Amino acid sequence: MSATIHRLGQKPEPSLEPMLQLVAHDLNLVNAVILDRMQSNIPLIPELAGHLIAGGGKRMRPMLTLASSQLLGYSGTRHHRLAAAVEFIHTATLLHDDVVDSSDLRRGKRTANIIWGNPASVLVGDFLFSRSFELMVEDGSLKVLKILSNASAVIAEGEVNQLTAVRRLDISEERYLDIIGAKTAALFAAACRIAAVVAERSEGEEAALDAYGRNLGIAFQLVDDAIDYVSDASTMGKDAGDDFREGKMTLPVILAYARGDAAARGFWKEAISGRRVADADFAEAIALVRASRAVDDTLARARHYGQRAIDALAGFAPGAAKDAMVEAVEFAVARAY
Amino acid sequence: MSATIHRLGQKPEPSLEPMLQLVAHDLNLVNAVILDRMQSNIPLIPELAGHLIAGGGKRMRPMLTLASSQLLGYSGTRHHRLAAAVEFIHTATLLHDDVVDSSDLRRGKRTANIIWGNPASVLVGDFLFSRSFELMVEDGSLKVLKILSNASAVIAEGEVNQLTAVRRLDISEERYLDIIGAKTAALFAAACRIAAVVAERSEGEEAALDAYGRNLGIAFQLVDDAIDYVSDASTMGKDAGDDFREGKMTLPVILAYARGDAAARGFWKEAISGRRVADADFAEAIALVRASRAVDDTLARARHYGQRAIDALAGFAPGAAKDAMVEAVEFAVARAY
């Protein structure tokens, strides 16, 4: 007897639609918690938070908590509050990221730091972060609190790690994977794992959902980083070339530099140090990344982690939840094509 | 029969020394936790955090947790980890405050944002904040987690409230008290209250310690805000006149403006809007604040809250801990003389 084998790339046009439909009802309830708990007597707080929270985010992380809960057949309501807590942690991180990167565009909209300034973004981020812990405390599971407080510390470490890696061509693929494992994948993993805690399932099921989320998160970030070298702002909702201009050491650059000849390496040294960041330089960067197949192989790495995410679900019963979670991975790795 | 009555101002030269001696042994253990838990594989984190944590802070808030624990005769060790968590919340807040205020000097030293930049200060603040929750989760008390996550949210709200009050001469004393009650006094209150939780004492004793910390915190901030108009950087370890130049609406300004004649009000309008911030303008501000007795009365308000802090301790048994906590209030309100 063998279970259905899911292999990446079998679906011609994968979509997030099945997962959206799967969690639609729950997600409405999560959104109600989010709207309720971002309120404050200080009007700037809901105004600024609402800009980002209502600003077209996919709610990827809370959807993962909800889908994982359905995969486990959980029928309670605790996951709504916790999914909101996860989204608050993510939103706080985005607010602080945009300050750190001096970003002016996110999801095609002006960023909060541009509209309200860095101080307000820092402080409202802190507020949402505190509020997320209040939500967890209300839920009352020390295990969930441990998972999410640890994830939060790991995210901050990953962000600092990334900050100290900027404009440094000696950054290795291993260090890059450490960074995205922390800054992105840790929260994906935690969002999935807490569903198993709430549903009171075994350590093994907790670990499997953690692995699903972690590998999906890595794949997701790899594709995001590849997209920065293939698309324009209209596709992505952020400025293409942002990573390039900021001197961020993402895998496309790491591979293109490692595989480049002397001329290419000379170019990358100047570009990553910030001396060649004009549009023509970015065009040259894209050409070099393509010639070295660095984007192709970044996406191949993403498929590797995507396949691992799918395989991590092998032990769970087939059904709509599992199908949707598999297709979400397909969708995540197919975005750049 | 009547208990000893403690009234402010009876001690000629009050000092923090009795409290320092009371908690010296415990504070060493707290410092060991702090040093251990600010570590990370990312070297910038302990480097930056250590600059501030080792940088001459009084450890006022963890001392309050330790002194309150002794007041209650608590003989365990849980308060060491929790006092470290309180200090981490405070340190994270300071890092973010200095970014928000673009400060360049704290306790006479260059600030972390000046040395390492705003991005690093924001992210290391986030790390310490997450770490503080990890410490609380290790302790395992949901009640402590509730108190401190709520205090954190209130602090962030207070900071945003202060931000939106900057350069606005219509800010009232009531709004100012809301701001300092949130940004400063909430953590003083929580630091004291958690001692009663750890020592498993009654709600009444929890509330009494909360009131002691809250009133002390308000008094402490009132005196800090008065000092900005009476002293120089060498006394205070921060730039005198910082609040003035930033257009912060503190009580000395609120009172001086309310009591001022047309000329004085004209001056404050220009100054608080940022058009008169030269050294000569600051000298004029000090003269106006003195002439209107605004500093004197800010300090009188501080003594009012200081007396309330002392009276909140009335129900606790006399002894070295109580004496030290009373004298700490005397010290806090006497700093400006």
Contact B118 A120 (CB under 8 A): no
Contact A123 B156 (CB under 8 A): yes
What number is the ipTM of this complex?
Answer: 0.94
User: For A84-88, A234-238, B76-80, B128-132, which range has the lowest pLDDT when averaged over its residues?
Assistant: A234-238
pLDDT digits (tens, 9 = 90+) for A12-44: 899 999 999 999 999 999 999 999 999 999 999
Contact A118 B120 (CB under 8 A): no
pLDDT digits (tens, 9 = 90+) for A256-280: 999 999 999 999 999 999 999 999 9
Q: Is the pLDDT of residue B216 over 70?
A: yes
pLDDT above 90 coverage of chain B, percent: 87
Quick one: pLDDT at residue B231?
A: 61
Quick one: pLDDT at residue B233?
A: 43
Quick one: closest CA in A to B183, which residue?
Answer: A123
Interface of B with A (CB under 8 A): 40-45, 92-93, 96, 99-101, 118-120, 122-124, 126-127, 129-131, 133-134, 136-137, 140, 142, 145-146, 149-150, 152-153, 155-157, 159-161, 163-164
Considering chain B, what is the average pLDDT of its residues? 94
pLDDT digits (tens, 9 = 90+) for B94-118: 999 999 998 888 888 899 999 999 9
Chain B residues with beta carbon closer than 8 angstroms to that of A100:
118-119, 122-123
Quick one: pLDDT at residue B192?
A: 98
pLDDT digits (tens, 9 = 90+) for B12-54: 899 999 999 999 999 999 999 999 999 999 999 999 999 998 8
pLDDT digits (tens, 9 = 90+) for B276-296: 999 999 999 999 999 999 999
- Phi/psi for A314 (5° steps) reads -55, -35
Quick one: pLDDT at residue B3?
A: 61
Quick one: closest CA in B to A98, which residue?
Answer: B119
pLDDT digits (tens, 9 = 90+) for A100-121: 988 888 888 899 999 999 999 9
Chain B residues with beta carbon closer than 8 angstroms to that of A123:
96, 100, 156, 159-160, 163
- CATH number for the region A17-330 comes to 1.10.600.10
Chain B residues with beta carbon closer than 8 angstroms to that of A120:
160, 163
CA distance B186 to chain A (A): 14
Quick one: closest CA in A to B101, which residue?
Answer: A119
Confidence of residue A141 (pLDDT cuts 50, 70, 90): very high
pLDDT digits (tens, 9 = 90+) for B184-210: 999 999 999 999 999 999 999 999 999
pLDDT digits (tens, 9 = 90+) for B56-86: 788 999 999 999 999 999 999 999 999 999 9
CA distance B219 to chain A (A): 23
Quick one: pLDDT at residue A2?
A: 47
| Arithmetic mean of pLDDT, B242-265 | 96
Contact B123 A41 (CB under 8 A): no
How many contacts, defined by CB atoms under 8 Å, are there between A and B? 138
